[in-house]
Structure 1
């Protein structure tokens, strides 16, 4: 085959037959190009041709090329990224999936001294540790790992309170364990059965973290072995066990839901409003959804009203409902044996889980609207319902007890399929909370 690019050895080149003029042009034409190229580049750099608007509009937002100009510098090209526009469109952490993560958790459950025994799955002998190696990946952005130093920097000299039921305590202990990786928490106050009221102080940054037991947020009388077998709630009166301390709080994380499933009688304005699951009490059955909504309204209205009156600001999170994963009835040998997360589409937020989540989201949005005239009040739903629903593997299960199968398989072992192992999926709640705080501060 004839070589069309280079003359071969011993063969006369066809260029030899061409005129001298053409040979001269071919010889010097490349040098002309070399001379013109830097001139063209110089012209384009200082006087770039505008891109047609229609072309730019057709590009995906994250890849658009935007022309920027400044009075002190020539026009330049920059790429707009999702990260740069985060303040304009906050990341939606609600939608996403769980993906494998080789790095694992920030802390070791065997050495974190603040974890309630029932959630210390590692020290209780849980043999499968795969549940530790997953991370939540939002659909349209990234969720950075929790950075304790950033948290301390943003909340130095602040008092953060977790108010609610045992899920509030579960989230609090997750935060304490992650913060303890860089600074020692000092327990400075404890009170109540099962230490339901506790306070820690991080001297390194003067950060105080408290937990207040208040499963209804409003005033309530919990059922007991010696009293009625139902709870009593006063839906229009806040629980002053935490409400009276609002003057000293800079951030409040509210969490509730599961206790509203229990039998209860409800009061409003000094009269009986109705009841939930109260056969034999001769009261009107009204369910618990509207009552839960009233309780959230009362809590948020109290926070906004008292902080607005004092002129102080406050940050408020309301953690959405965290679904349980019992296979079977929780009090009839129900268990949560899965060892991996659900895949996307395998489990949907529906029924009671969806209804309770919606109440939280709606009430926070309503509170935002009503508090616009007050400065320094920031409210947000910590929407963890979907990401929690997808993690049936993250509960203590039988390992709420220490080495439950040490003496062989038992006929009946109680399982905890409500709370979360520490470390575990609940650490992600605090990851998201930190990102929202960062956005607020910026």
Structure 2
């Protein structure tokens, strides 16, 4: 009997210890996600979205940002804008790809242009093109990434078009689908887009590949890395291309694949390649041999909003106003990419500080999760296309993507004040 009671006591103690351990682990995970991954607050807020301002006070990320910027620019809500129309139109003298020229291709509702991003703890000032150009006078800025990077690049060009026009400084020998450079003579400011879907060396890149795209994950894409020393600001990004079938090489050896369906090849995820590619890209920016001395902004991943699938399996994005936060369900696909970005960014930021480099975060993920209304949907025609297809990935110009450059502008202003 004594042994049985002792055995039961030991069993109960073990169960209690296991329970306490699991509770402690859960608390640690919640603390990590809310403090280190601001976008993941959407999962925890849900119907309690009205408390987001209060919750964000306890984020160490927010505390850090407030010390630099007086408030967390990246946590907030979209509010109706009563101050007038957009900064520009599809008739302004600026470059808008047909795929994002929504009004030209028949979009009739204009409500998607009548919302502004409102941070929880402050106001986001309007974009001032003259002040922006003064901040970057005599400097150079490059957007490095895929077609969403070009989307932001063209947005900035349109925002500046009301006060100044550029000279096309792209070389005749260069493929303008891969490298575009504009020079604003009055301000001696150079604005560039360098196209790089994966940021690392890639072969067989195609929007609809018939066989897996080959990635050399340890080798940076020299299209952008070879010119990086010329820029004072680099806005770097990558994302949705990692959902395609991929073959992964590291140090010259095939290490695995994603969706390749090949025997004797290790099955890896798209997330695996994404993480290693960002390690490689950040390492190239920090590498002293490349002589880069500028500032780096990581623009976080923005979501797609395909819904209401048709028979062909594609979806549409017909909504005409933003989501409320309580309408949101958590997107683990985007959330995982975002988490990887944040983890690799923080590691790189620590290394960059040792070298005297400045890495900053342009966090658009939470804001854009709420904007299913901002995509072209069926109202666009991409270059080379004869028939329209649904686009719920890119963003109409003008549209909510202009907010990315409002945020960039505010960050540059805050840096100027801090210095």
Q: Name the TM tier (shorter chain).
A: 0.7 to 0.9
1:162 is aligned to 2:162: no
After superposition, what is the alpha-carbon deviation per residue over 1:295-351, rounded to whole angstroms, capped at 9, x for unaligned? Answer: 1111111111137x73x5211111111110111459634110101100122114430
Specify which of 298, 302, 313 is matched with residue 318 of structure 1.
298
Secondary structure at the aligned position of 1:198 is classed as: strand
Secondary structure at the aligned position of 1:200 is classed as: strand
CA distance in 2, matches of 1:268, 1:333: 34
Contact 1:161 1:253 (8 Å CA) reproduced: yes
- Please give the root-mean-square deviation of Cα atoms over the aligned residues, in Å: 2.3
Map of 2:405 onto structure 1: 430
Contact 1:99 1:134 (8 Å CA) reproduced: yes
Map of 2:159 onto structure 1: 178
Map of 1:128 onto structure 2: 109
TM-score by length of 1: 0.74
CA distance in 2, matches of 1:291, 1:116: 29
CA distance in 2, matches of 1:329, 1:264: 25
Secondary structure at the aligned position of 1:290 is classed as: helix
Map of 1:327 onto structure 2: 307
Tell me how far 1:113 sits from its aligned partner.
Answer: 2.9
Contact 2:300 2:364 (8 Å CA) reproduced: yes
The alignment of Structure 1 onto Structure 2 pairs a total of residues equal to 346
Larger relative contact order (Cα-Cα within 8 Å, sequence gap ≥ 6): 2
CA distance 1:396–1:156, change in 2 (3 Å) = same
1:96 is aligned to 2:73: no
Contact 2:169 2:183 (8 Å CA) reproduced: yes
Map of 1:78 onto structure 2: none
Q: Which runs of 5+ in 2 are unaligned?
A: 1-64
Equivalent residues in 2 for 1:286-365 (5 A)?
A: 286-306=268-288, 310=291, 313-328=293-308, 332-365=313-346
CA distance in 1, matches of 2:415, 2:293: 13
CA distance in 1, matches of 2:229, 2:243: 32
CA distance in 1, matches of 2:208, 2:400: 37
Contact 1:87 1:439 (8 Å CA) reproduced: no
Tell me how far 1:415 sits from its aligned partner.
Answer: 0.9
Specify which of 278, 283, 286 is matched with residue 260 of structure 2.
278
CA distance 1:233–1:350, change in 2 (3 Å) = same
After superposition, what is the alpha-carbon deviation per residue over 1:141-180, rounded to whole angstroms, capped at 9, x for unaligned? Answer: 1111111112111111111111111110000000010011
Contact 2:76 2:367 (8 Å CA) reproduced: yes
Map of 1:381 onto structure 2: 361
Equivalent residues in 2 for 1:69-84 (5 A)?
A: none
CA distance 1:285–1:226, change in 2 (3 Å) = closer
CA distance 1:259–1:224, change in 2 (3 Å) = closer
CA distance 1:438–1:227, change in 2 (3 Å) = closer
After superposition, what is the alpha-carbon deviation per residue over 1:252-301, rounded to whole angstroms, capped at 9, x for unaligned? Answer: 11111110000010110110121100113642111011211111111111
CA distance 1:181–1:426, change in 2 (3 Å) = same
Q: Which has the higher helix share?
A: 2
Map of 1:233 onto structure 2: 215
Specify which of 375, 393, 405 is matched with residue 395 of structure 1.
375
CA distance in 2, matches of 1:126, 1:386: 25
CA distance in 2, matches of 1:166, 1:401: 14
CA distance in 2, matches of 1:300, 1:251: 14
CA distance in 2, matches of 1:364, 1:301: 11
1:243 is aligned to 2:225: yes
CA distance in 2, matches of 1:341, 1:203: 38
Secondary structure at the aligned position of 2:354 is classed as: coil
After superposition, what is the alpha-carbon deviation per residue over 1:179-208, rounded to whole angstroms, capped at 9, x for unaligned? Answer: 111110221216666723111011110111
CA distance 1:225–1:344, change in 2 (3 Å) = closer
Map of 1:419 onto structure 2: 394
CA distance 1:89–1:436, change in 2 (3 Å) = closer
Map of 2:39 onto structure 1: none
Computing the radius of gyration from Cα coordinates, the structure with the larger value is 1
CA distance in 1, matches of 2:167, 2:320: 35
Tell me how far 1:222 sits from its aligned partner.
Answer: 2.9
Secondary structure at the aligned position of 1:425 is classed as: coil
CA distance 1:387–1:225, change in 2 (3 Å) = closer
TM-score by length of 2: 0.78
After superposition, what is the alpha-carbon deviation per residue over 1:335-377, rounded to whole angstroms, capped at 9, x for unaligned? Answer: 10101100122114430111111111222211111122222x2
Greater mean deviation of Cα atoms: 169-178 or 322-331: 322-331
CA distance in 2, matches of 1:420, 1:225: 18
